C-alpha cells in the first residue's frame, strides 16, 4: 500500500520529499527540474520550519495553560545565530531522513546547507553566547523568549584587498529568510522625543504623562528555537522598526508629504544596521534609539503576555525573569518602572520591588572604554520621561547609600547613576546594578576581578547580588553539526547521550590510552584539515600542508587579544630558518581570522601585518613550505564551523585579566585542539578541567600584570635585553614585510617599545619558550593525541546546558517545564 504522507509534519523520507516538492512549487513557483539552489534551500527550510512551528505551537499552548510558569526573557542587542538549517535537522533528529530525501530528489544536502546566508546579528562573543543560551534554554525545556533587534544589515562582510580589511554591507535578507514569521498583529508603539507633563488622576493622585514628538512601531519577527531531541520549542522575537501608521502630519502641517517621507525613513532607520564596534561608540544617537526601541517593545510585549495570563501588573516578576545581556538593554530598569508607574498606576515602591525582582545583569567586560555611558542631554532629548524616572531612582538610591555609608562622598559620586565629574552622563552599568537583584560575571576570574575592581562599591552595598556563571557553548552546533567525523567516532565508543549531557564525555578518558582509538582520532582530524586546506586554497590562494600543525587564532581583532604576539612568534621562527636554513623545525600553518572594528586603526594594521608577513614567509624558498601564514577572510559562524574542527593548536593568548571569558577557547578544546594560553578568563577553568599537563600555559598572571603596571613597566628595557626580540622587531622596522617601507608598521612597533599596554614584551620570551615545548610535544604524535583526546573528554563543564542550569538555579529560580507531563 502507498505510504501515508504528512506534508506538514511527517518526519519520514516520503513526507519530506513531498513537502519539499510542494514548497518548491507553491512558495517558490518552481519545479524540481528547473529549480535554483536558493529555491531548493528555501523549500527544504520551509519544510523544516513547518515542523518547528508544530512544536512551537504545542510548547506555547502548554505554557499558557499553566498559570505558575516563570518564563525567561533573554534581552540582547545581539544574537549571532549562524546558519539554521543544520542545527534544526539535528534537533529534530531527521538529518539522515532529510539527506536521503534530498538525494532522492537529485541533490546533496551539504550543497543546500552551504547556500544559507547566516544571520550575523552580532559582533562576536557576546552575541554568539546569546545564541548558544537560547539553544540551551530550549534543550533544557526552560520556557523562554530571546528578545532583540531584527537588523536589516548584520555585521559587515570582510574582504581582504592588498592585505587590508575592506568592509562590505551584509545583505543577509536579500534571498529571503525562511525561518522567520512576521507577527504584525502583535505590533507595539514606542515614544520618542517631546516633553512630559503632570496631571491629577480621578483619585487626585499626581501622575505624569509623556507627550512624544513621534512614535515608532515595532513589528515582531519570530524564529523558532528547537530543543535538542525534546518536544520543547521556544522562539527568538526580533523587532523591526516602522513608521507609526496613524501618525497624522496634516493636523499640524497641512499636506507636508516630504515631512511624512522623512519621518518614515527616520523610523525605519532604527533597526537598519548593527553597530560593528565592540568597544565604545562615542555617544551615537541612533544606538541609544536602538536600545530603547527594542527594550520598550519587548517589555510591552511581555506585559501583554503577562496580562493574558490574568496577571496583575505588579506581579510581573512572578511571570518573568529578565536577563540583561550586558548593559545594552539596561534601560529596561527605567522603562519597566515607567510602564508600571505611568501606564498601570502602580505605586512607586511596589513597582520598584517588581522591577528589581525581575531583572538581572550579566557583565561581559572589564575594559573601561567598553562601559557604556550616554550624555544626559541625549537622554533628555530622546526619552525625557525615562530620564526623569532615572533621576528619581538615583535620588532614592543615593539617599540609601549615604545612610549606609555616611560621609563617604567618594562612594556617592562613584555609585551615582549620573556621572557629574564633567559633562553629565548616564552610566548604564550603575543603572543595571541599582535595579537588578543579581549581577554576574562570565568566568571565575572575571567575576573576582569585577568584585575587586569596577564593581567594588557595589559588592560592599549588595554582596548577595553577586554570582559567577561561567560561559558555555552548545555542543550541538559546535561538535555534532560541525564535526561529524569526531561525533561518529565518539558515538561508536561511548554512545549518543553526550550531546545533551556533555559530562558523559568523561567516558572517553580510557580511550586516550588506546592506540587504535588514537589513530582513528588522528585520521578524523586529518580529514577535517584537508577540508579546511581546500577552502584556504579557494579563499586565499595559499596552498597549505594538511599534515603540518594547524596553529589557529580566530576571534575579533583586538590589541588585548594579542594577535600580534603570535606574529612575533612567526617572525622568530622565520629568523631561525633564515639564520640556519637546515634547522629542524616543526612544520606549522598559522591561521588567523577575525574582523576589526571599521574605525579601529591599530586592529586594521595588525591584519595588514599578518598578511604582509604571510606574503614574505609563504614565498621564501628557504622556508621550504615549513611555515605558512594565512589570514582567512570573513570569519563568521559559518566559517568557524569549518575552522574549529581542523585546529591542532588553539591560541588563547590575551593579556591576563583582559578577556572576560572567551568561548572560542571552549569550541577548540571540544574539537580536540590543545590550547596555548594565559591564565585569563575561562582558560583558567579549562586548564583546571583538562589537567595542567594537557594545557600549554605561559605568561604573567593578572596580579603580576597589575603589579608591573604599578611599578612602572618598562617595555624598552625588556627589548634591550632580549636579542631574539630585538631581531624580530628590527625585521619589521627594516621594511622587509612592507616592500621597504620602514614606516608602515611603526605605529605597532613604537607602541610596543614605548607603551605596550598589553604587555607583549613582558610575555614574549615566556611565549616563545612555551611554543618550543608545543613543537617538541607535536613530534610525539601518540602523546599529542592522547592529550587532545583528554581535552575532549573533559569539556563537559563548558556545555552551555550547564551554564543555563546555573542561571536557573542561582539567578532565575525557574525549573524545566516538561510539556509532555503538563
Ligand atoms: C558598547 C559597545 C560594545 C559592544 C559589545 C561594548 C562591549 C561589547 C561586548 C561586551 C563585547 C563582547 O563580546 N564581550 C565578550 O563577551 C563574551 C561572552 O561573555 C566573552 O567570552 C568575551 O571574553 C568578551 O570579550
CA distance 40 to 116: 11
| Phi and psi, residue 243, nearest 5° | -70, 145
For residue 258, pLDDT beyond 90: no
Give the cell for residue 58.
Answer: 504545542
Mean pLDDT of 634-649: 98
Q: Please compute, for residue 593, the number of CA atoms within 13 A of its CA located in the half-sphere on the CB side.
A: 25
Instruction: Give residue for cell 557576546.
Output: 126
Report helix, strand or coil for 439.
Answer: strand
Q: Which residue has 534581552 as its cell numbers?
A: 75
Q: Ligand 1 mean position to 596 CA, how many Å?
A: 14
Query: What is the residue whose three cell numbers read 528555537?
Result: 225
Cβ distance 228 to 142 under 8 Å? no
742 is catalytic: no
For residue 98, the CA-to-ligand 1 centroid distance in Å is 37
364 annotated active-site: yes
Cell of 524: 578524523
Q: 126 CA to middle of ligand 1, Å? A: 5
Residue 4: pLDDT band by 50, 70, 90 thresholds?
confident
Cell matching residue 794: 573533559
Residue 254 has pLDDT above 70, yes or no: no
281 lines ligand 1 (CB under 6 A): yes
CA distances to 251, 350, 710 from 721, in Å = 77, 65, 21
Sign of CA dihedral 698, 701, 702, 704: negative
The Cα 131–Cα 71 span in angstroms is 17
**667 given a catalytic annotation:** yes
244 HSE (CA, 13 A, CB side): 15
Which one from 470, 663, 675, 678 is the annotated catalytic residue? 663
String of DSSP letters for 740-775? T-SSTTHHHHHHHHHT-TT-HHHHHHHHHHHHHHHH
Distance 213 CA to ligand 1 centre (A): 34
Residue with CA nearest ligand 1 atom 16: 126
Q: Does the structure show a pLDDT above 90 at 589?
A: yes
Give pLDDT tens digits for 770-815.
999 999 999 999 999 999 999 999 999 999 999 999 999 999 999 9
Question: How many Å apart are CA 36 and CA 44, to the nearest integer?
Answer: 12
Q: What letter would DSSP give residue 476?
A: I
Tens digit of each residue's pLDDT (9 = 90 or more) over 432-485: 999 999 999 999 999 999 999 999 999 999 999 999 999 999 999 999 999 999
pLDDT digit string (tens) for 367-391? 888 899 999 999 999 999 999 999 9
- Residue 649 and residue 673 in contact, taking contact as beta carbons nearer than 8 Å: yes
Q: Where in the chain is the domain with CATH 3.40.50.2000?
A: 70-83+121-372+432-471, 544-788
**Do residues 683 and 665 make contact, with C-beta atoms less than 8 angstroms apart?**
yes
pLDDT of residue 65: 83
Query: How far is the C-alpha of 687 from the C-alpha of 695, rounded, in Å?
Result: 6
The answer to whether residues 225 and 135 touch, using CB atoms and an 8 Å cutoff, is yes
SS3 370: helix
State the distance from the centre of ligand 1 to the C-alpha of 664, rounded, in angstroms. Answer: 13
Categorize the per-residue pLDDT at 251 as very low, low, confident or very high, splitting at 50, 70 and 90: low
Place of cell 614565498: 619
| The model scores a pTM over 0.95 | yes
Measured from the Cα of 362, ligand 1's closest atom is 19
- Across the chain, mean pLDDT equals 96
SS3 per residue for 300-354: HHHHHHHHHCCCCHHHHHHHEEEEEECCCCCCHHHHHHHHHHHHCCCCHHHHHHH
Q: For a substitution probing ligand 1, which of 76, 77, 125, 291 has the most ligand atoms within 8 Å of its CB?
A: 125
Longest alpha-carbon distance in the chain = 92
755 belongs to the catalytic site? no
Measured between alpha carbons, how far is 615 from 617 in angstroms, rounded to an integer? 6
Q: Which three cell numbers stand for residue 221?
A: 519577527
Within 13 Å of residue 472, how many CA atoms lie on the same side as its CB? 27
The catalytic position among 17, 49, 240, 364 is: 364
CA 176: distance to chain centroid? 24
Burial class (CB in 10 A: 0-12, 13-18, 19+), 559: buried
The per-residue pLDDT for range 564-584, each reduced to its tens digit, is: 999 999 999 999 999 999 999
CA of 342 to the centre of ligand 1 (A): 34
Q: Identify any residues that bridge with 211 across adjacent strands, giving them in sequence order.
A: 195
Q: Say how many CA atoms lie within 13 Å of 450 toward its Cβ.
A: 29
Angle at 599 between CA 593 and CA 601, to 5 degrees: 70
- pLDDT by residue (tens digit) across 598-623? 999 999 999 999 999 999 999 999 99
Cα 285 to ligand 1 centre (Å): 20
Alpha-carbon distance of 687 to 783, in angstroms, equals 17
d(CA 676, CA 673): 10
Q: Is 124 in the pocket of ligand 1 (CB under 6 A)?
A: yes
Do the Cβ atoms of 629 and 570 come closer than 8 Å? yes
Q: Indicate if the pLDDT at residue 283 is higher than 90.
A: no
Res 2: pLDDT: 63
In sequence order, what are the residues at sequence separation of 6 or more whose Cβ sits closer than 8 angstroms to the Cβ of residue 542? 536, 614, 618, 628, 630
pLDDT digits (tens, 9 = 90+) for 338-369: 999 999 999 999 999 999 999 999 999 998 88
Q: 374 — phi, psi (to 5°)?
A: -120, 140
660 pocket-lining for ligand 1 (C-beta < 6 Å): yes
| % of residues, the chain, pLDDT over 70 | 98
DSSP per-residue letters across 516-543? HHHHHHHHHHHHHHHHHHHHHHHHH---
Q: Does the ipTM surpass 0.90?
A: yes
Place of cell 622587531: 729
Q: What are phi and psi of 809, to 5 degrees?
A: -80, -50
Euclidean distance between CA atoms 523 and 529, whole angstroms: 10
Looking at the predicted structure, is the pLDDT value of residue 161 above 60? yes
State how far the Cα of 43 lies from the Cα of 25, in Å rounded to an integer.
Answer: 9
Backbone angles phi, psi at 696, to 5 degrees: -95, 100
Q: Which of 286, 303, 304, 332 is nearest to 151 (CA)?
A: 286
Cα 660 → chain centroid: 13
pLDDT at 33 over 90: no
Q: Give me the mean pLDDT over the 417-432 stretch.
A: 97
In whole angstroms, what is the distance from residue 603 CA to residue 561 CA? Answer: 10
Architecture label for domain 544-788: 3-Layer(aba) Sandwich (3.40)
Q: What is the pLDDT of residues 479-507, one digit of tens each?
A: 999 999 999 999 999 999 999 999 999 99
Atom 21 in ligand 1: residue holding the nearest Cα: 662
Atom of ligand 1 nearest to the CA of 365: 10
- Asked whether 123 lines ligand 1 (CB < 6 A), one says yes
Cβ of 575 less than 6 Å from ligand 1: no
574582504: which residue's cell?
159
Whole-angstrom distance, CA of residue 191 vs CA of residue 292: 10
pLDDT over threshold 60, residue 249: no
d(CA 787, CA 772) in angstroms, rounded, equals 17
Report residue 247's pLDDT band, with 50, 70 and 90 as the boundaries.
Answer: low
672 in Cβ contact with 792 (< 8 Å): yes
Q: Which CATH architecture has domain 70-83+121-372+432-471?
A: 3-Layer(aba) Sandwich (3.40)
Is the separation of the CB atoms in 94 and 16 below 8 Å? Answer: yes
Spatial separation of the C-alpha atoms in residues 100 and 288, rounded to whole Å: 48
Q: Residue 406, Cβ neighbours under 10 Å: how many?
A: 7
List % helix, strand, coil for the chain (3-state, nearest 5). Answer: 50, 15, 35
Sign, CA dihedral 305-311-317-318, equals: negative
Contact 469, 806 (CB under 8 A): yes
Cβ(129) to ligand 1 under 6 A? yes
Quote the CA–CA distance of 197 and 487 in Å, as a whole number. 62
Amino acid at each position: 500500500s502507498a505510504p501515508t504522507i504528512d506534508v506538514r509534519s511527517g518526519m519520514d523520507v516520503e513526507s519530506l520529499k513531498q513537502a519539499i516538492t510542494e514548497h518548491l512549487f507553491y512558495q517558490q513557483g518552481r519545479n524540481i527540474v528547473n529549480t535554483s539552489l536558493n529555491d531548493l534551500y528555501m523549500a527544504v527550510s520551509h519544510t523544516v520550519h513547518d515542523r518547528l512551528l508544530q512544536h512551537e505551537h504545542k510548547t506555547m499552548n502548554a505554557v499558557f495553560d499553566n498559570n505558575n510558569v516563570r518564563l525567561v526573557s533573554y534581552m540582547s542587542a545581539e544574537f549571532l545565530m549562524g546558519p539554521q538549517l543544520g542545527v534544526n535537522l539535528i534537533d529534530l533528529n531527521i538529518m539522515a531522513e532529510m539527506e536521503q530525501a534530498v538525494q532522492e530528489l537529485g541533490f546533496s544536502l551539504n550543497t543546500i546547507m552551504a547556500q544559507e546566508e547566516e544571520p550575523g546579528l552580532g559582533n562576536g562573543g557576546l552575541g554568539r553566547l546569546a545564541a548558544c543560551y537560547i539553544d540551551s534554554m530550549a534543550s533544557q525545556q526552560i520556557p523562554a523568549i530571546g528578545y532583540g533587534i531584527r537588523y536589516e544589515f548584520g555585521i559587515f562582510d570582510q574582504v581582504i584587498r592588498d592585505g587590508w580589511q575592506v568592509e562590505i554591507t551584509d545583505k543577509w535578507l536579500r534571498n529571503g529568510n525562511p525561518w522567520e514569521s512576521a507577527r504584525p498583529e502583535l505590533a507595539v508603539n514606542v515614544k520618542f522625543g517631546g516633553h512630559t507633563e503632570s496631571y491629577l488622576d480621578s483619585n487626585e493622585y499626581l501622575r505624569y504623562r509623556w507627550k512624544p514628538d513621534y512614535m515608532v512601531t515595532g513589528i515582531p519577527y519570530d524564529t523558532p528555537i528547537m530543543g535538542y531531541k525534546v518536544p520543547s520549542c521556544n522562539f527568538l522575537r526580533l523587532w523591526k522598526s516602522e513608521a507609526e501608521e496613524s501618525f497624522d502630519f496634516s493636523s499640524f502641517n497641512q499636506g507636508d508629504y516630504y515631512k511624512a517621507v522623512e519621518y518614515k525613513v527616520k523610523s525605519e532607520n532604527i533597526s537598519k544596521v548593527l553597530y560593528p564596534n565592540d568597544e565604545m561608540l562615542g555617544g551615537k544617537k541612533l544606538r541609544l534609539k536602538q536600545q530603547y526601541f527594542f527594550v520598550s517593545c519587548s517589555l510591552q510585549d511581555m506585559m501583554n503576555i503577562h496580562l493574558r495570563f490574568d496577571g496583575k501588573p505588579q506581579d510581573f516578576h512572578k511571570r518573568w525573569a529578565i536577563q540583561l545581556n550586558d548593559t545594552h538593554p539596561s534601560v529596561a530598569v527605567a522603562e519597566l518602572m515607567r510602564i508600571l508607574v505611568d501606564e498601570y498606576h502602580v505605586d512607586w515602591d511596589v513597582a520598584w520591588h517588581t522591577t528589581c525582582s525581575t531583572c538581572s545583569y550579566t557583565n561581559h567586560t572589564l575594559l573601561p572604554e567598553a562601559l557604556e555611558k550616554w550624555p544626559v542631554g541625549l537622554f533628555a532629548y530622546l526619552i525625557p520621561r525615562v530620564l526623569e524616572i532615572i533621576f528619581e531612582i538615583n535620588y532614592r538610591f543615593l539617599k540609601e547609600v549615604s545612610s549606609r555609608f555616611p560621609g563617604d562622598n567618594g562612594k556617592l559620586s562613584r555609585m551615582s547613576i549620573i556621572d557629574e565629574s564633567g559633562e553629565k552622563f548616564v552610566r548604564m552599568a550603575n543603572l543595571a546594578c541599582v535595579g537588578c537583584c543579581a549581577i554576574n560575571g562570565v568566568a571565575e576570574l572575571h567575576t573576582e576581578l569585577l568584585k575587586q575592581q569596577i564593581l567594588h562599591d557595589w559588592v560592599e552595598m549588595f554582596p548577595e547580588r553577586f554570582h559567577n556563571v561561567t560561559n558555555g557553548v552548545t555542543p550541538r552546533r559546535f561538535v555534532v553539526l560541525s564535526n561529524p567525523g569526531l561525533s561518529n567516532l565518539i558515538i561508536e565508543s561511548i554512545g549518543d547521550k553526550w550531546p545533551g549531557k556533555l559530562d558523559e564525555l568523561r567516558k572517553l578518558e580510557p580511550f586516550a590510552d588506546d592506540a587504535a582509538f588514537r589513530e582513528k582520532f588522528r585520521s578524523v582530524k586529518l580529514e577535517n584539515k584537508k577540508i579546511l586546506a581546500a577552502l584556504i586554497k579557494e579563499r586565499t590562494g595559499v596552498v597549505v600542508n594538511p599534515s603540518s600543525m594547524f596553529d589557529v587564532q580566530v576571534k575579533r581583532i583586538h590589541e588585548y587579544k594579542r594577535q600580534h604576539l603570535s606574529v612575533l612568534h612567526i617572525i622568530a621562527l622565520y629568523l631561525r630558518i633564515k639564520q640556519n636554513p637546515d634547522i629542524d623545525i616543526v612544520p606549522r600553518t598559522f591561521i588567523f581570522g577575525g574582523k576589526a572594528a571599521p574605525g579601529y586603526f591599530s586592529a586594521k594594521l595588525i591584519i595588514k601585518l599578518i598578511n604582509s608577513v604571510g606574503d614574505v614567509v609563504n614565498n621564501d624558498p628557504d622556508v621550504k613550505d615549513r611555515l605558512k601564514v594565512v589570514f582567512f577572510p570573513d570569519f563568521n559562524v559559518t566559517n568557524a564551523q569549518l575552522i574549529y574542527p581542523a585546529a591542532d593548536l588553539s591560541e588563547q593568548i590575551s593579556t591576563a585579566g583582559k578577556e572576560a571569558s572567551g568561548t572560542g577557547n571552549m569550541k577548540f578544546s571540544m574539537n580536540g585542539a590543545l590550547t596555548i594560553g594565559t591564565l585569563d578568563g575561562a582558560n583558567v577553568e579549562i586548564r583546571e578541567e583538562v589537567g595542567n599537563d594537557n594545557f600549554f600555559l605561559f605568561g604573567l598572571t593578572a596580579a603580576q600584570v597589575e603589579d608591573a603596571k604599578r611599578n612602572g613597566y618598562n617595555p624598552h628595557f625588556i627589548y634591550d635585553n632580549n636579542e631574539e626580540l630585538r631581531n624580530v622587531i628590527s625585521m619589521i622596522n627594516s621594511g622587509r614585510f612592507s616592500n621597504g617601507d620602514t614606516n608602515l608598521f611603526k605605529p605597532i612597533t613604537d607602541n610596543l617599545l614605548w607603551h605596550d599596554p598589553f604587555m607583549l614584551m613582558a610575555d614574549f620570551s615566556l611565549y616563545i619558550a612555551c611554543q618550543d615545548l608545543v613543537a617538541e610535544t607535536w613530534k610525539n604524535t601518540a602523546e599529542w593525541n592522547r592529550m587532545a583526546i583528554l581535552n575532549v573528554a573533559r569539556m563537559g563543564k563548558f556545555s552551555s546546558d550547564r551554564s543555563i542550569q546555573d542561571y536557573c538555579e542561582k539567578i532565575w529560580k525557574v525549573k524545566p517545564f516538561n510539556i509532555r507531563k503538563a
